Structure 1
Amino acid sequence: MKIAFSPCPNDTFVFHAWVHGLIPGAPELDVMYADIDITNGLAANPTPDTPEVMKISYAALPWVLEDYALLPCGGALGRGCGPLVLTEEGLTDPAVLAGRRVAVPSERSTAYLLFRLWAAQNVPGGVGEIVVMPFHEIMPAVRDGKIDAGLVIHEARFTYQNYGLNMLTDLGNWWEGDTGLPIPLGAIIARRTLDLKAIEGWIRASVEHAWANPEMTRDYVMCHAQELAPEVAQAHIDLYVNKFTADLGEDGYAAIATLLNRAAEEGLVPKIDPALLR
Structure 2
Amino acid sequence: MRDLTLGFSPCPNDTYIFHALVHGLVETPGLAFRERLEDVETLNRLALEGVLDVSKVSYHALGFLRDEYLLLRSGGALGRGCGPLVVTKGAGSMKDLRGKPIAVPGRYTTAALLLRLFDPSLDNLVYLPFNEIMAGVARGEFAAGVIIHESRFTFPEYGLTKLLDLGAWWEGETGCPIPLGGIVARRSLGRETVAAIDAALRASVAHARSNPSAASAYIRAHSQEMSDEVCAAHIGLYVNDFSLQLGAEGELAVAALLGRAEAAGVIPRSVAPLFG
Q: Deviations over 1:250-274 (max 9, x none)?
A: 1111111111111122221111326
- Tell me the SS of whatever aligns to 2:20: helix
- Where do 5+ consecutive residues of structure 2 fail to align? none
> Is the 1:81–1:239 contact (alpha carbons within 8 Å) kept by the matching residues of 2?
yes
Cα distance in 1 for residues equivalent to 2:23 and 2:97: 47
Cα distance in 1 for residues equivalent to 2:271 and 2:157: 43
Q: Superposition pairs for residues 18-167 of structure 1, below 5 Å?
A: 18-26=21-29, 27-46=31-50, 50-91=51-92, 93-120=93-120, 126-167=121-162
User: Are 1:190 and 2:191 matched, yes or no?
Assistant: no
Cα distance in 2 for residues equivalent to 1:189 and 1:128: 29
User: Are 1:213 and 2:216 matched, yes or no?
Assistant: no
Q: Deviations over 1:102-144 (max 9, x none)?
A: 1111111111111111124xxxxx2252111121211111111
Instruction: Give the fraction of aligned pairs with identical amino acids, expressed as a percent.
Output: 47
TM-score by length of 1: 0.93
How much does 1:277 deviate?
4.3
How much does 1:62 deviate?
2.1
> Is the 1:74–1:246 contact (alpha carbons within 8 Å) kept by the matching residues of 2?
yes
Opposite residue 176 of structure 2, the aligned amino acid is L
TM-score by length of 2: 0.94
- Tell me the SS of whatever aligns to 2:183: strand
> Is the 1:181–1:255 contact (alpha carbons within 8 Å) kept by the matching residues of 2?
yes
User: Are 1:273 and 2:275 matched, yes or no?
Assistant: no
Q: Deviations over 1:54-96 (max 9, x none)?
A: 00111111221222110000011111000000111323x2221
- Tell me the SS of whatever aligns to 2:213: helix
How much does 1:193 deviate?
2.7
> Is the 2:67–2:270 contact (alpha carbons within 8 Å) kept by the matching residues of 1?
no
Q: 1:128 to 1:41 in 2, by over 3 A?
A: closer
Q: Superposition pairs for residues 202-241 of structure 1, below 5 Å?
A: 202-241=200-239
- Tell me the SS of whatever aligns to 1:228: coil
Cα distance in 2 for residues equivalent to 1:19 and 1:139: 32
Which of residues 160, 175, 194 in structure 2 aligns to 1:180?
A: 175
Q: 1:51 to 1:127 in 2, by over 3 A?
A: closer
User: Are 1:11 and 2:6 matched, yes or no?
Assistant: no
Aligned pair count?
269
> Is the 2:7–2:43 contact (alpha carbons within 8 Å) kept by the matching residues of 1?
yes
How much does 1:41 deviate?
1.3
User: Are 1:264 and 2:265 matched, yes or no?
Assistant: no
Tell me the C-alpha RMSD between the 2 structures.
1.3
> Is the 1:260–1:272 contact (alpha carbons within 8 Å) kept by the matching residues of 2?
no
